[in-house]
Structure 1
Amino acid sequence: MEFCDECGSMMKADDGAWVCAKCGFEKPRDSAKEAQMVTTQAQEKSEIIESGGGSSGLPTTDARCPECGNDTAYWYMQQIRSADESETRFFVCTECEHKWREDDH
């Protein structure tokens, strides 16, 4: 990620150069200096939430599944929008493992 030397805004890559979307300042991209994103297997595994029956480790609540009509679901909360907005509640049916979410709008 690069930031503009002129105004401090985030720059985007465009045809071998970094271009500021706000003021138009350009600077060449140096591919030798650019960092590569590396994801390890440990990171990938830690981001997976499994819903394997009763041993999932997630708490349960009374929630009606829109697929099968079951009235119990596992639940968890995750921040997926900006920090000044509330978290999103995710549900996983204890019977059919259908997943859905509930947002505060």
Structure 2
Amino acid sequence: MLFCPTCGTLLLTEKTIVDFRFYCQTCPYIYLVKQTLSKKVTLERKKVDDILGGAEAWENADKTETVCPRCSHPEAYFKQIQIRSADEPSTLFYRCGNHSCANQWNEN
């Protein structure tokens, strides 16, 4: 994507009989393409916050008797979090009670 250096609008492409060009639909700017254009931009991933609060949030969570789907441990910590609109039910999140497993899953 190229932008107009005059007004900042996204440039459109057009193939004419003679040439290929970028043009601005807002102002009279035209850029004739004389060679192949290539530009590679690597995107950096943003750090995403853990919606469950990280490991510290599970320290005071309540425990229940439910089986971990990964290691079959009989106990798990649980929390209810409202992640959808207020008229939808809360989502129940679990974390395995076996600290070496620490698998997390949810129940809608």
TM-score (norm 1): 0.49
Q: Which has the higher helix share?
A: 1
TM-score (norm 2): 0.47
The structure having more radius of gyration, on CA atoms, is 2
